[in-house]
């Protein structure tokens, strides 16, 4: 989706960097989401890395069953479908 907004590859790389740094910080990887302010906690619901970190910890450290993983997988799927739709729409409108 970032690439469909950028005019050059350099802009796309910078845009990806500008997205990834806050996404990693807000994912709960370094600091627990519960310790963040309420407004920031709400913002983390649109961050796919938040759900991915829970899946990684659950699979590798806890042996979490698939039924519990589905609670984390469906939000990632929804975010993925929305991003794919927006990327396609932006790309089509850029080509016209």
Nearest to 55 by CA among 47, 64, 44: 64
Going from N- to C-terminal start, the domains of the chain cover 2-95
pLDDT tens per residue across all 96 residues of the chain: 898 888 899 999 999 999 999 999 999 998 999 999 999 999 999 999 999 999 999 999 988 899 999 999 999 999 999 999 999 999 998 887
Round to whole Å and give the CA distance between 96 and 15.
23
Specify the pTM.
0.82
3-state helix, strand, coil in the chain (%, to 5): 80, 0, 20
Q: Which residues contact 35 (CB under 8 A, 6 or more apart)?
A: none
Give the model's pLDDT for residue 62: 85
């Amino acid at each position: 989706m970032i690439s469909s907004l950028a005019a050059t590859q350099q802009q796309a790389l910078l845009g990806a960097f500008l997205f990834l740094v806050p996404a990693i910080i807000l994912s709960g990887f370094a600091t627990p989401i519960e310790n963040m302010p309420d407004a920031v906690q709400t913002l983390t619901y649109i961050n796919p890395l938040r759900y991915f970190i829970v899946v990684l910890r659950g699979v590798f450290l806890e042996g979490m069953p698939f039924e519990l993983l589905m609670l984390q997988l469906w939000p990632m799927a929804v975010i993925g479908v929305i991003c794919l739709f927006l990327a396609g729409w932006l790309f089509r409108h850029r080509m016209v």
